Amino acid sequence: MPPSDLTTFLSGSDSPPPDAGRSDGATPPPFEPAARVGRGTAPATDPPAATSGSAYRGGGGTVVASGAVTVGSRYEVIAHLPMPEYDRPYANAFEARDLKKPKRMAIGYVCTTGRPLRLDLLPSLLRLDNEALLKVRSFGVSRWIEDGRETPILVYARPPGRRILRTADDRIDPYRDDILVRCIIKPMSQVLRDLRARRVFHGCINPTNLYRAGGETPAVLGDCVAAPAGLGQPALYQTVERMQCTPAGRGAGTNADDLYALGVTLVALLKGRAPLDGMSDAEILESKLANGSFGAVVGDHRLPLDLVEPIKGLLLDEPDDRWTVDDLDQWLSGRRLTPKQARSPVQAVRPLHHAGADHWQPRRLAIALAEEPELRPNTISLPDLDAWLRRGLSDDAIADRVQEAVRGGQAGSNPTLGHRRLARLCIALDPTGPIRYRGVATTIDGIAALLSEEYISGKGPQIPAEIIAGNLPLFWVSVQARHTSDHATWARQFEAMRTLLDQEIPGFGIERVLYELNPSMPCRSPFLDGFYILQCDQLLRALETIADRRDAPRDPIDRHIAGFILSRYPNLSPRQMRAIGRADDPVARALGALDVLTTLQADARVHPLPGLCRWIVRLLKPGLQTLHSRKRRERLLRDIDKQAATGLLRNIQMLMQEDASPAKDSGEFAAARAEYRTHAREIRQLTRKLETRHAVSRDTGQQMAALASSIAAAGLLAIIVVWQAA
């Protein structure tokens, strides 16, 4: 589900939202309940009150005096009443109470592992009414009493009884064939038909997730939302293709995968225990590859004759041959079908020896090669491999794919080149298998969940990032024999993700890819620890809460928050994100953060946010101190505190744009300097003119005085001459 659809669902009331589209997800170790959350007391400080625009369903949840937390507007989950008999691998069960119908029994699943939930399924499941599927009542994020952390909580109707198998290793009395048909096959067929109509993959069909009250009551199928797809599903109940994958990389399954899990479940109930018990996952996979799923799972157990047909049809390894829900319905109605015979894998006429073993099939060789650290010249002889494929297997198509895989993986000098070449070789040998890379195996649609799991487990995103950067998803699509619309969608998606990886500015890189591929992934920013942020209005309220803490970070937006925001608002300007990444300019970072957060506040209508405004003002004030205009500087320092008190980031933004623009201040300062230089030049010119005037006057006076003296002397001389002559 895209983020916008998720927002629509989460911000709604308790009434079920419209149906959603297909599911997505990842996958799983054997059934082990999550570490149980202990009892405790409410935290000293309550979570911030949610406004009407809250994306937390029902307002975010509060702790009430009874030691319960609210979920939505009508349910309370009682923290001191755990129900471990209903625990799931990644969620703990507690008693829940319906405030409007107190007699209605419910349970709350508290999901404390931090893994993304399959929230895209909730719109469909809330509307689905099937007595054989545990009913989802509500969902919300509440501050859990034990640790004060925001935690997603699912509220379900109370199961009618206990789970059929308490653990994967439990043993029970074998089911009679007539009970199996009435209580398991018939209700599960109805559930799978309804799920198929909504394009929902359940992913958790096994005896530890089936509940019965005893007698001849039909079974009820349990939760499938509390963890990524199939992550709580034991490997035994996975198809051969999904078993080859790393648990978190099994991806979104199909209705055919659920039918396969049902087939294994039927055999387990007929035996009274899990088939192949005591064997490791690797040994179970080897048995399925060697004997086919039907031969491996059933073994030497004698099935009731009436059930051989459906079980064999459900356990066919080829998805195209496997029984569908329609086939199962026809069998239930009395029409007997003849399942297609299991297709044996094509084998070479002679083996290829590698790593001390003989390999007769390309898939087996791909599995063995995936154990190598990388493709080196001595890993395998490529000429011998080509000869084996063309002569021993008589398959020129595979041989051509292998040559293309090796040629296309030779470009560049990246240190991951050897790993990438080996992965391409394995894909070429086993195109329907997973992408195998550096000890990890994932389906193309399991890369998203694999990336989230690598973050949560603390391993880091390096391997999923290299898979995407190495163009392995696109190569996997290119070698498929049949192309579907999903293949084209995946090709476009991962080409876009590769482009995002290449950009280093905040809002891009692997963090952006994480949230683009996982819309239900809460923001993983380190300073949002304790919050469960799914939407940007929640992000704003969380930043408001931590704004005045002593341990608040320097800047309100880090790379995770930037990637999270851009995955919800892809049209935000890259210029703003570049400003946030200016390590050398704290004022530019603050202005970039102000622009982004102002957009979020206006769109989410979360008002007011005085703490966040004060945080931004603290970052802006050093820049205001550098303004050249003393009057403007004093006025802005006074006015910006007033605007921060309003809690509206837009007011601060307008003030900065109108009166505190660094460009405007620099321009005015430059104009003032230019004007000063002009006036100084004019003064110098006038001074020079004045100095010149004094010199001219002096010279002229001296000349006039000399002339007057000469005339006077001449006159006096003339008088003397005349006088003497007389």
Is there a single domain that holds both residue 409 and residue 322?
no
User: What total number of domains does the chain contain?
Assistant: 5
Give the contacts of 243 (CB within 8 A, at least 6 positions apart): 235, 281, 284, 285, 288
Asked, for residue 680, whether it belongs to a domain, the answer is no
Indicate the residue type of 334.
G
Residue 597: both structure tokens together = 């957060």
Closest among 42, 109, 44, 450 to 248, alpha carbons compared: 450
**CA gap 526, 539 in Å, rounded:** 13
**CA gap 197, 175 in Å, rounded:** 30
Indicate the residue type of 99.
L
CATH code of residue 36: 3.30.200.20
Say if residues 470 and 420 touch (Cβ distance below 8 Å): yes
Q: What is the pLDDT of residues 462-517, one digit of tens each?
A: 999 999 999 999 999 999 988 888 999 999 999 999 999 999 899 999 999 999 99
Indicate the residue type of 450.
L
pLDDT above 70 for 45: no
Asked, for residue 139, whether it belongs to a domain, the answer is yes
pLDDT above 70 for 1: no
Closest among 526, 597, 536 to 559, alpha carbons compared: 526
- Tokens 């309804």 belong to 194
Indicate the residue among 604, 637, 660 that finishes a domain: 660
pLDDT above 50 for 38: no
Is there a single domain that holds both residue 359 and residue 473?
yes
Say if residues 314 and 323 touch (Cβ distance below 8 Å): yes
Say if residues 110 and 36 touch (Cβ distance below 8 Å): no
Asked, for residue 651, whether it belongs to a domain, the answer is yes
**CA gap 326, 314 in Å, rounded:** 12
* Number of neighbours of residue 290 by Cβ within 10 angstroms: 10
List residues bridging with 352 in a β-sheet: 359
Asked, for residue 668, whether it belongs to a domain, the answer is no
Is there a single domain that holds both residue 488 and residue 533?
no
Indicate the residue among 615, 637, 660 that finishes a domain: 660
pLDDT above 90 for 445: yes
Is there a single domain that holds both residue 641 and residue 700?
no
Position 40 scores a pLDDT of 36
- Tokens 């074998």 belong to 174
Say if residues 31 and 91 touch (Cβ distance below 8 Å): no
Is there a single domain that holds both residue 216 and residue 72?
no
Residue 651: both structure tokens together = 């007011």
Length of the chain: 726
Domain containing residue 320: 177-332
User: 693 vs 425, which has greater pLDDT?
Assistant: 425
**CA gap 175, 271 in Å, rounded:** 8
* Number of neighbours of residue 78 by Cβ within 10 angstroms: 18
Position 5 scores a pLDDT of 47
**CA gap 125, 138 in Å, rounded:** 10
pLDDT above 90 for 582: no
Average pLDDT over residues 115-137: 94
Q: Give pTM, 2 decimals.
A: 0.83
Indicate the residue type of 530.
G
Asked, for residue 676, whether it belongs to a domain, the answer is no
List residues bridging with 221 in a β-sheet: 133, 210
Give the contacts of 360 (CB within 8 A, at least 6 positions apart): 347, 348, 351
**CA gap 694, 318 in Å, rounded:** 112
Say if residues 577 and 592 touch (Cβ distance below 8 Å): yes
Residue 442: both structure tokens together = 């994932």
Average pLDDT over residues 539-563: 93
Q: What is the pLDDT of residues 619-659, one digit of tens each?
A: 998 877 777 677 788 888 889 999 999 999 999 999 888 76
**CA gap 578, 571 in Å, rounded:** 14
Is there a single domain that holds both residue 64 and residue 199?
no
* Number of neighbours of residue 512 by Cβ within 10 angstroms: 26
DSSP string, 130-157: -TTBPPEEEEEEEE-TTT--EEEEEEEE
* Number of neighbours of residue 333 by Cβ within 10 angstroms: 7
Give the contacts of 33 (CB within 8 A, at least 6 positions apart): 84, 87, 88, 89, 92
Is there a single domain that holds both residue 253 and residue 382?
no
Confidence at 42, pLDDT banded by 50, 70, 90: very low
Position 600 scores a pLDDT of 94
Is there a single domain that holds both residue 576 and residue 467?
no
Give the contacts of 295 (CB within 8 A, at least 6 positions apart): none
Is there a single domain that holds both residue 277 and residue 356?
no
The beta-carbon contacts of 527-534 under 8 Å, at least 24 apart in sequence, are 527/552, 527/553, 527/558, 528/560, 528/561, 530/148, 530/149, 530/150, 531/149, 531/150, 532/141, 532/149, 532/150, 532/151, 532/152, 533/564, 534/6, 534/10, 534/55, 534/119, 534/141
Is there a single domain that holds both residue 143 and residue 191?
no
- Residue 591 backbone zone (phi > 0: left; psi -120 to 50: alpha; other: beta): alpha
Asked, for residue 171, whether it belongs to a domain, the answer is no
Position 373 scores a pLDDT of 83
User: 59 vs 146, which has greater pLDDT?
Assistant: 146
Indicate the residue among 639, 660, 681 that finishes a domain: 660
CATH code of residue 247: 1.10.510.10
Position 665 scores a pLDDT of 64
Residue 289: both structure tokens together = 């590859």
Position 24 scores a pLDDT of 38
Residue 586: both structure tokens together = 């704290």
First and final C-alpha spacing in the chain:
137
Closest among 156, 116, 138, 119 to 20, alpha carbons compared: 119
Average pLDDT over residues 682-696: 74
Average pLDDT over residues 444-469: 94
**CA gap 610, 605 in Å, rounded:** 14
In terms of DSSP H, where are the helices of 299-410?
A: 305-314, 325-332, 362-369, 382-387, 396-408
Confidence at 548, pLDDT banded by 50, 70, 90: confident
Of 156-160, 213-217, 226-230, 711-715, least confident by mean pLDDT is 711-715
Position 211 scores a pLDDT of 96
Highest-pLDDT range among 11-15, 388-392, 509-513, 690-694 = 509-513
Q: Where are the beta strands (DSSP E) in 123-260?
A: 136-143, 150-157, 162-163, 210-212, 220-221
Indicate the residue type of 376.
R
Is there a single domain that holds both residue 86 and residue 185?
no
Q: 671 by DSSP, 3-state: which? A: helix
Asked, for residue 670, whether it belongs to a domain, the answer is no
Confidence at 183, pLDDT banded by 50, 70, 90: very high
Q: What is the pLDDT of residues 393-413, one digit of tens each?
A: 999 999 999 999 988 766 555
Say if residues 135 and 167 touch (Cβ distance below 8 Å): no
Average pLDDT over residues 30-39: 44
Is there a single domain that holds both residue 611 and residue 648?
yes
Asked, for residue 618, whether it belongs to a domain, the answer is yes
CA distances 164 to 72, 82, 188, 210, 225, Å, are 31, 20, 14, 6, 20
